[in-house]
Every structure is written in structure tokens, then in C-alpha cells.
């Protein structure tokens, strides 16, 4: 492995953003032919920045880049592509109304490859997509394959993937990894940015860990383990388990009765679900993404229409009430997509109080205008308490790293002292340190007597945090169980559509 040919060498890379943020402080990186290279690091460590530089999207402030031994000065992404380097970004950028084929060949000037050629490529890589289907009808997993195929047709030798598994189901992830292995066999170099140590251990050959703009180390994956990687990442021991003291559960805080909810494409996404969440408990909902969890959450938050059934908050029927009314009754909502919860072009300060403005009178001054001093005061408190990395309070939220945006949403929603917390994928895209922090916070909320409804496709998370949990499959629950009394395997089967009764019956 170590004798492999060097394809890319990045030397002493420094990046200072125009607003003065120092994202990289002298980073060295070596990429070899035919390796899968993991890039690991906390939120804001500089992973995306480093790869944007390598793919020609932004320029380094200082430092040198060598591609196949030749020093280069990358002018733009097209230039990087011509040298064989391509990046698939976190937020995919395809034209929704084009077919898969049209998207794949988009931008190719001369000699557009025909469908048979693309089909051959799909066969040899396992990256299968329906070429004639309109892209907006395709799942995120398929769209991602389109982006990768697009790069491969441009003959990239170095393929950079920024958190490619964040929105994939476990099955899609497995398929992606299979394809990545076959690309590696063909001699491609793959850079995989992820927070998931499990994935790093599963698929990479080497891993480079970044912390606060510096390389902590580059190691052979075979010579390391999850504890060591976690420690390198955050610079201290990480406790991967959470202490959960027993609490006495209180009254019913949230009650869902035979709820039916519309999907975006017509038909029912939620097909009759009933459960309740009590004060002082975390009720978890596990399941492969896309089984109605998001629609269920949106119905509870009041942003999606209910077809049938009732939602009760603190004993009051809120099914017909607006989101605003539900918020002022003590509901907090952390949506799965932080772009719903944030106004990207607005400042950090404004976003810190976005859902508070509705009812917090201190934010409005005697003249009836927003009080900027008070907004700033609250924003400062939030940033400090939740350790959010920002450059200035007036910077637009979109300049924050993904993880810091997420911390802002979670911090904002939890610090409102809500009575019912609806958290959907609250730790998605967060590094181990921040994940640990937010999980602790949810447990703390529960210990303080709040009702927490946790919807997550991270099985470790749901099983580790919940007092009771349901598994959702195809719009229904396959069971409500005590997470301490089921095995991961049983939950896995429930996620695949088996009811707990069926599973236990089969076994006995
Ligand atoms: N356009 C920008 N302007 C100013 N600062 C930026 C910009 N983009 C990123 N940053 C800052 O640079 C630092 C590194 O960000 P980067 O996005 O590279 O981190 P990351 O390791 O990819 O984090 P995450 O895991 O959260 O995606 C962060 O402090 C971030 O706030
Ligand atoms: Mg990033």
C-alpha cells in the first residue's frame, strides 16, 4: 500500500476566508492511487474547505498542490476536472426537471456519450440509475449515483465525496460502498469525508484526521480503532455511552390518535399511527428513512395536513391549530433538514431568536420594533453555551459549517424551555463531540421532566436514548418496545417490516 504511486500532494495549505476565518492552518495531505482515503474531523475542522481547494472551487491563501508530480495552480472546477479531480458536494446540484441521462451529460461539450456507453459504465461500477427518469422523482441515493457517474464520465481519477452517506439508508450506503470498492479496484482514488467512524473503519485504507484546521495524523485504517480515531478527532477521550438515570414519568404530554398524513406525491405517508409521550420520557421512533417519519413529525409540528386522527398537546386537541399556536403551547421542533429551521441569508443573531420572536416580548422594544440589543444578548448566550463556531454575529448563517448550523438550531430550540421536544435526526452531520453533547442535552431535558419525541434513523441513538421506542415501516409502527428488552437484530427485522410478535413467534 505505502509503495503506491502518489497522485495528489497538498503542501502547507492555509485558507483564510474573506471574513478573516482561518479554516486551514498549514495542512499536508497525500493521496495515493487506488486508495480510499477517509477525511475525519469535528464540525468546522476544515474538511470541506480542504476539498473545495483540491477541486478548484476556492483558492488557498497559501500552499502548494502537486497533481501526479506536477505543481499546479487550480483556476476553477473545470481546470481541476481536466486534471482528473472531481468533487460531489453535500448538497447535490442536479437540474430537477432533467432526466438522469440529461444530467449526466450536461456540460459535456464535445462527444456526448450515448446511453449504451453509460450503461456499460453502470455495469462495471454497480452505479445503476434509470436514465430516462426525471431527476426530481429519484431518491437521494440515486441522485448521488448520477453525480458520481457524471464525474466518472469526465475521467476523474480522484473522486471526492463530501459526507455522501448522510442522507442514505443503510442499504443505499452498502450499495455505495460496493461501488466505491470496485472503483478503487480500477485504480481510482477516493476521498471520503464522513463523521461516521464506523464507515471509516469499514471502507477506508487510510484516514487523515483534521482538528481546527490542522492535521492531527494520517494513519493506516488497519492500525487504528474507533476509540483512537474519536480521541484524535476531539483531542480527548470520548464517552460513547450515555448515563441515563431512572426518572418517574409523568402525565401524557403528547398524544397521537390514529393519525393519517398525506405524502408529497399523493397517497398516505402515515397510515394510522397511535402513541403517547409522557413528561420525563424519551420516546424514540426508529426506522429506515422514508417510511413516513418526516411526514409524521411535520404533522405534529403543524406544517403538514392531517387527513384523519388527532394530535393532543397537554390534553388539548391541537390538530387544527397553527405551528405558531403549537409553539406558544410549549412545543419545540428540530426538523431533519436544518434549512427549514434557518433563514440562510439572515445573520447568526437573527437566526438565534427566529422561533422566539413569535412570543417573547422582550425582543420587541417600546416602539414596537425588534430590539437588537436583546437579540444580540440572546445570540451571544446561545453561541457561548452551545460552543457554536461563528465569525461574527452579523455573518449570514450560511457561512457556518454544517455542524455549527445544526448546533444553532438545536441550541435555540432547547433553550426555549419547551415542554414537548420533537427532535428529528438531531445529530445528523454532527461530529462525535457535538453528537455526544446533544444526546446528553436530550437526556437532561428528559430528566427535567420534559417530553421528548426522538425520530432518528441512527439505531444506536434511538436504542441508547429512548425509554420506549417504536419502529416505523411503511407508514405504520411494527411495534412499540422497551429498547432494553430487544436486540439490535430484532429491531433490524422490525425496520424491515416484521412485527415484534412475528419475530418472537418465529424464534420460539
Ligand atoms: N464561505 C465561508 N466564509 C467564512 N467562513 C467559512 C466559509 N466556509 C467555511 N467557513 C469556516 O471555515 C471553517 C471550516 O469549515 P468547513 O466547512 O471546511 O468545516 P468542515 O470540517 O467541513 O465541517 P462540517 O463537518 O461541519 O461540515 C469553519 O469555521 C467555517 O465556519
Ligand atoms: Mg463539511
160 lines ligand 1 (CB under 6 A): no
Cα 343 to Cα 346: distance, rounded to the nearest angstrom: 5
402 lines ligand 1 (CB under 6 A): yes
pLDDT at 411 over 70: yes
Cell of 243: 448515563
Mutation test residue for ligand 1: of 15, 42, 44, the one with most atoms within 8 Å of CB: 44
Cell of 290: 422514508
pLDDT at 281 over 90: yes
Q: How confident is the model at residue 355 (pLDDT cuts 50, 70, 90)?
A: confident
Query: Could you report the per-residue pLDDT of 423-471, keeping only the tens digit for each?
Result: 999 998 788 788 888 899 999 999 999 999 999 988 778 988 999 999 9
Q: How confident is the model at residue 499 (pLDDT cuts 50, 70, 90)?
A: confident
Cα 235 to middle of ligand 1, angstroms: 19
- Cα angle 253, 463, 318 (rounded to 5 degrees) comes to 20
Q: Whose CA is nearest to atom 16 of ligand 1?
A: 46
Q: What letters, b where the CB count within 10 A reaches 16 and e where it falls short, cover 174-197?
A: ebbbebbeebbeeebbbbbbbbbb
Cell of 160: 471526492
Q: Is 90 helix (H, G, I), strand (E, B) or coil?
A: coil
Query: What Rg do the C-alpha atoms of the chain give, in angstroms?
Result: 24
Average pLDDT over residues 139-155: 91
Q: How confident is the model at residue 237 (pLDDT cuts 50, 70, 90)?
A: low
Partner residues linked to 36 by β-bridges: 190
Cα 58 to middle of ligand 2, angstroms: 14
Q: Packing angle between helix 115-125 and helix 140-153, nearest 10 degrees?
A: 110
Instruction: Give the pLDDT of residue 167.
Output: 73
Do 6-234 and 252-330+418-507 have matching folds? yes
Cα 145 to middle of ligand 1, angstroms: 25
Average pLDDT over residues 162-175: 83
Instruction: Give the pLDDT of residue 291.
Output: 87
- Cα angle 216, 222, 224 (rounded to 5 degrees) comes to 40
In this prediction the pTM is 0.68
Please give the CATH number for the structural domain made up of 6-234. Answer: 3.40.50.300
| Side-chain half-sphere exposure of 148, counting CA atoms within 13 A | 27
Q: Where are the domains of the chain?
A: 6-234, 252-330+418-507
Instruction: Give the pLDDT of residue 236.
Output: 60
Start-to-end CA distance of the chain, whole Å, equals 49
Among 417, 9, 40, 34, residue whose Cα is nearest residue 211: 40
Query: 373-376 long-range contacts, Cβ below 8 Å, gap at least 24?
Result: 375/349, 375/350, 376/349
| Ion ligand 2: residues, Cβ under 5 Å | 48
Backbone angles phi and psi of 459, in degrees to 5? -65, -40
Average pLDDT over residues 335-358: 85
Assign domain 252-330+418-507 to its CATH superfamily. Answer: P-loop containing nucleotide triphosphate hydrolases (3.40.50.300)
Query: Could you report the per-residue pLDDT of 286-325, keeping only the tens digit for each?
Result: 987 788 999 999 999 999 999 999 999 999 999 999 998 9
Average pLDDT over residues 215-224: 95
Non-local CB neighbours of 320 within 8 Å, separated by 6+ positions: none
Mutation test residue for ligand 1: of 14, 19, 49, 408, the one with most atoms within 8 Å of CB: 49
Backbone angles phi and psi of 194, in degrees to 5? -160, 160
Q: Strands of 268-278's sheet, edge to edge?
A: 268-278, 252-262, 306-313, 316-317
DSSP string, 156-205: -SEEEEESTTTT--HHHHHHHHHHHHHHHHTT-EEEEE-S-HHHHHHH-S
Length of the chain: 508
Average pLDDT over residues 68-79: 96
pLDDT at 161 over 60: yes
Average pLDDT over residues 68-74: 96
Backbone angles phi and psi of 108, in degrees to 5? -75, 120
Question: From the alpha carbon of 49, which atom of ligand 1 is closest?
Answer: 18
Instruction: Give the pLDDT of residue 2.
Output: 47
Q: Whose CA is nearest to atom 12 of ligand 1?
A: 23
Average pLDDT over residues 220-227: 90
Instruction: Give the pLDDT of residue 247.
Output: 82
**Is residue 474 a contact partner of residue 268, using CB atoms and an 8 Å limit?**
no
Partner residues linked to 351 by β-bridges: none
Q: How confident is the model at residue 1 (pLDDT cuts 50, 70, 90)?
A: very low
Cα 50 to Cα 74: distance, rounded to the nearest angstrom: 13
Amino acid at each position: 500500500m505505502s509503495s503506491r504511486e502518489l497522485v495528489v500532494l497538498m503542501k502547507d495549505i492555509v485558507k483564510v476566508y474573506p471574513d478573516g476565518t482561518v479554516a486551514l492552518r498549514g495542512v499536508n495531505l497525500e493521496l495515493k492511487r487506488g486508495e480510499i482515503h477517509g477525511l475525519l474531523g469535528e464540525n468546522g475542522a476544515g474538511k470541506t474547505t480542504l476539498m473545495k481547494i483540491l477541486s478548484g472551487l476556492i483558492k488557498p491563501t497559501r500552499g502548494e498542490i502537486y497533481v501526479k508530480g506536477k505543481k499546479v495552480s487550480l483556476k476553477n472546477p473545470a481546470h481541476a476536472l481536466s486534471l482528473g479531480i472531481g468533487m460531489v458536494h453535500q448538497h447535490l446540484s442536479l437540474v430537477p426537471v432533467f432526466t438522469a441521462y440529461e444530467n449526466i451529460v450536461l456540460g459535456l461539450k464535445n462527444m456526448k456519450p450515448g446511453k449504451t456507453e453509460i450503461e456499460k459504465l453502470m455495469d462495471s461500477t454497480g452505479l445503476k440509475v434509470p436514465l430516462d427518469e426525471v431527476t426530481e422523482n429519484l431518491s437521494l441515493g440515486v441522485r448521488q449515483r448520477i453525480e458520481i457517474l457524471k464525474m466518472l464520465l469526465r475521467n476523474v481519477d480522484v473522486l471526492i465525496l463530501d459526507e455522501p452517506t448522510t442522507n442514505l439508508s443503510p442499504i443505499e450506503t452498502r450499495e455505495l460502498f460496493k461501488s466505491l470498492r470496485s472503483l478503487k479496484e480500477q485504480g481510482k482514488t477516493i476521498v471520503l469525508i464522513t463523521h461516521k467512524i464506523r464507515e471509516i473503519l469499514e471502507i477506508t485504507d487510510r484516514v487523515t484526521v483534521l482538528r481546527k484546521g490542522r492535521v492531527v495524523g494520517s494513519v493506516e485504517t488497519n492500525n487504528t480503532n474507533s476509540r483512537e480515531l474519536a480521541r484524535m478527532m476531539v483531542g480527548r477521550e470520548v464517552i460513547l455511552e450515555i448515563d441515563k438515570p431512572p426518572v418517574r414519568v409523568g402525565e401524557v404530554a403528547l398524544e397521537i390518535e390514529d393519525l393519517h398524513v398525506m405524502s408529497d406525491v399523493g397517497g398516505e405517508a402515515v397510515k394510522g399511527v397511535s402513541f403517547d409521550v409522557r413528561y420525563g420520557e424519551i420516546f424514540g421512533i426508529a426506522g429506515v428513512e422514508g417510511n413516513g417519519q418526516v411526514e409524521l413529525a411535520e404533522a405534529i409540528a403543524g406544517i403538514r395536513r392531517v387527513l384523519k386522527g388527532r394530535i393532543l398537546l397537554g390534553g388539548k386537541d391541537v390538530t387544527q391549530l397553527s405551528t405558531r399556536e403549537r409553539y406558544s403551547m410549549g412545543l419545540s421542533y428540530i426538523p431533519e433538514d436544518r434549512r427549514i429551521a434557518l433563514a440562510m441569508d439572515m445573520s447568526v443573531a437573527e437566526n438565534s431568536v427566529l422561533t422566539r420572536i413569535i412570543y417573547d416580548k422582550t425582543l420587541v422594544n417600546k416602539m414596537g420594533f425588534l430590539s437588537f440589543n436583546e437579540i444580540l444578548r440572546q445570540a451571544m448566550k446561545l453561541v457561548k453555551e452551545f460552543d457554536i463556531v461563528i465569525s461574527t454575529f452579523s455573518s449570514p448563517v450560511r457561512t457556518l459549517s454544517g455542524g455549527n448550523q445544526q448546533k444553532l438550531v438545536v441550541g435555540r430550540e432547547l433553550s426555549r424551555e419547551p415542554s414537548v421536544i420533537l427532535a428529528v435526526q438531531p445529530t445528523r452531520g454532527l461530529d462525535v463531540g457535538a453528537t455526544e453533547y446533544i444526546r446528553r442535552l436530550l437526556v437532561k431535558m428528559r430528566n427535567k421532566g420534559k417530553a421528548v419525541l426522538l425520530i432518528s434513523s441512527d439505531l444506536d441513538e434511538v436504542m441508547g436514548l429512548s425509554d420506549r421506542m417504536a419502529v416505523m415501516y411503511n407508514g405504520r409502527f411494527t411495534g412499540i418496545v422497551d429498547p432494553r428488552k430487544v436486540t439490535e437484530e430484532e429491531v433490524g427485522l422490525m425496520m424491515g417490516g416484521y412485527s415484534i410478535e412475528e419475530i418472537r413467534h418465529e424464534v420460539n
